[in-house]
């Protein structure tokens, strides 16, 4: 498709918010989408587009890595925050974002960096000033787990794209969700089966050292291998489970329960909770050519699922 952000309208996907912002970024990467990883609606029903600025996993192009706010009532861009090179690093792959609009003047955003090369950790953004800074880039909880090997559809997932012997996926902090009271940020590396949380007060404090932030990290135990995370106002955390074609939910007492288990749920990701429905995609990541000696085993069409749940969105505003 000749665009990187689309809207489903009457069964057809069209460029969003228009074709011009989805046109080639060569002339002005700041004003065009380069390679969008995530689109998230904040508690004020505004859409935020997280642009990696990275084409085919290469270093972000100058001015390409950014966070773009779109007014859903008018479909117009109202804010563009371009990340400086010391925020979106040459190795960065900005992945997912969550919001607390009560912080600072206009709210703050928390973004994961899932780089396969590191550093990982978080980018914290002041939505008013556009100031952004990094936290917890080298802490073990945000890095790929040593010796991690994903097994999906009964097959070990090895990357054979770089030449040489195949190697397992090694990707850092990826999924992200914010607690219902806004005090904790939940996260997990893609190459891990652990769930962690960290104090949002510590993350949001630009003056806090990484040691100060690390002191607030909690290991919440095993949850299976996940890509996307979400939370609800009832104090639960949702996690995809890409090894088992499933989405799970952690209750406030720390127990996990299944939300859906289905063979069609092929590498679930991008969880979003709206109007009593949990939405998620099946992106078939593990079937890409890089994981099958150059053979593309993905089957179109790709699928967006939804399932009714008894949860309401977290609204920190």
- The 10s digit of each residue's pLDDT in 253-287 is 999 999 999 999 999 999 999 999 999 999 999 99
Average pLDDT over residues 36-48: 97
Q: Name the residue with higher pLDDT: 117 or 135.
A: 135
Give the pLDDT band (50/70/90) at residue 249. Answer: very high
Distance CA 260, CA 78 (A): 37
Given a contact cutoff of 8 angstroms between Cβ atoms, the answer to whether 148 and 169 are in contact is yes
User: Looking at residues 59-63, what average pLDDT do you find?
Assistant: 93
Does residue 177 contact residue 237 with C-beta atoms inside 8 Å?
Answer: yes
| Helix locations, the chain, DSSP H | 200-204, 210-214
CATH number of 100-108+135-317: 2.120.10.30
Q: Which of 177, 68, 54 is nearest to 130 (CA)?
A: 68
Q: What is the pLDDT of residue 57?
A: 81
- What is the average per-residue pLDDT within 95-105? 97
Answer with the residue of higher pLDDT: 57 or 164: 57
Question: Is the pLDDT at 5 greater than 80, yes or no?
Answer: yes
H-helix or E-strand spanning residue 87: none
**Is the per-residue pLDDT at 26 higher than 80?**
no
Count of Cβ atoms closer than 10 Å to residue 73 Cβ: 8
Alpha-carbon span 8 to 100, nearest angstrom:
27
pTM exceeds 0.75: yes
For residue 2, name the pLDDT band (cuts at 50, 70, 90): confident
Element (H, E) at 221: strand 218-222
Q: Average pLDDT over the chain, rounded to whole? A: 95
Six-digit token pair at 271?
A: 């969880």
- pLDDT reported for residue 229: 98
Q: Determine the average pLDDT of the residues in 38-48.
A: 97
For position 27, what pLDDT does the model report? 77
Helix (H) or strand (E) holding 268: strand 268-274
The mean pLDDT value for 296-305 works out to: 94
Q: Count how many Cα atoms sit within 13 Å of the Cα of residue 185 in the half-sphere of its side chain.
A: 35
* pLDDT score at 162: 67
Block residue for tokens 């399932």: 307
Residue 203 confidence (pLDDT): 98
- In angstroms, how far is the first alpha carbon of the chain from the final one? 36
| Rounded distance between C-alpha atoms, residue 253 and residue 304, angstroms | 30
Collapsed DSSP state (helix, strand, coil) of residue 188: strand
Residues 205-243 pLDDT 10s: 999 999 999 999 999 999 999 999 999 999 999 999 999
Percent of the residues in the chain that have a pLDDT greater than 90, as a whole number: 91
Torsion angle defined by CA atoms of residues 111, 114, 119 and 121, in that order, rounded to the nearest 10 degrees: 40
Report d(CA 132, CA 109) in Å as an integer. Answer: 9
- Start and end residues for every CATH 2.120.10.30 domain found in the chain: 100-108+135-317
Question: How sure is the predictor about 1, in pLDDT bands with cuts at 50, 70 and 90?
Answer: low
Please tell me the distance from the alpha carbon of residue 117 to that of residue 93, in angstroms, as a whole number: 9
CA-based Rg of the chain, rounded to a whole angstrom? 18
Distance CA 236, CA 6 (A): 30
Q: In which band, very low, low, confident or very high, does the pLDDT at 25 lie, cut at 50, 70 and 90?
A: confident
Round to whole Å and give the CA distance between 289 and 286.
9
């Amino acid at each position: 498709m000749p665009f990187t952000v689309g809207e489903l309208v009457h069964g057809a996907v069209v460029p969003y918010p228009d074709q011009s912002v989805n046109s080639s970024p060569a002339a002005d990467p700041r004003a065009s989408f380069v390679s969008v990883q995530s689109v998230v609606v904040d508690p004020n029903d505004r859409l935020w587009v997280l642009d990696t600025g990275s084409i085919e996993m290469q270093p972000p192009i100058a001015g390409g890595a950014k966070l773009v706010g779109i007014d859903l009532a008018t479909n117009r861009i109202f804010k563009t925050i371009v990340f400086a090179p010391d925020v979106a690093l040459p190795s960065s792959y900005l992945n997912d974002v969550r919001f607390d609009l009560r912080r600072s003047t206009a709210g703050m955003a928390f973004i994961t960096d899932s780089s396969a090369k590191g550093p990982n950790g978080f980018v914290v953004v002041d939505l008013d000033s556009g100031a952004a800074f990094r936290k917890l880039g080298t802490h073990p909880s945000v890095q790929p787990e040593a010796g991690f090997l994903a097994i999906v559809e009964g097959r070990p997932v090895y990357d054979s794209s770089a030449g040489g012997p195949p190697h397992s996926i090694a990707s850092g902090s990826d999924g992200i969700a914010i607690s219902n009271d806004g005090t904790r940020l939940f996260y997990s590396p893609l190459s891990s089966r652990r769930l962690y949380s960290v104090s949002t007060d510590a993350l949001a404090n630009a003056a806090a050292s990484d040691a100060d932030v690390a002191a607030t990290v909690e290991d919440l135990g095993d949850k299976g291998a996940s890509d996307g995370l979400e939370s609800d106002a009832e104090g639960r955390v949702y996690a995809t489970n890409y090894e088992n074609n499933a989405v799970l939910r952690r209750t406030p007492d720390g127990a996990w329960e299944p939300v859906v288990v289905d063979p069609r749920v092929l590498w679930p990701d991008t969880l979003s909770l709206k109007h009593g429905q949990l939405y998620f995609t099946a992106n078939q990541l593990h079937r890409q050519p890089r994981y099958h000696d150059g053979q593309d085993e993905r089957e179109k069409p790709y699928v967006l699922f939804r399932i009714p749940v008894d949860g309401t969105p977290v609204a920190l505003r």
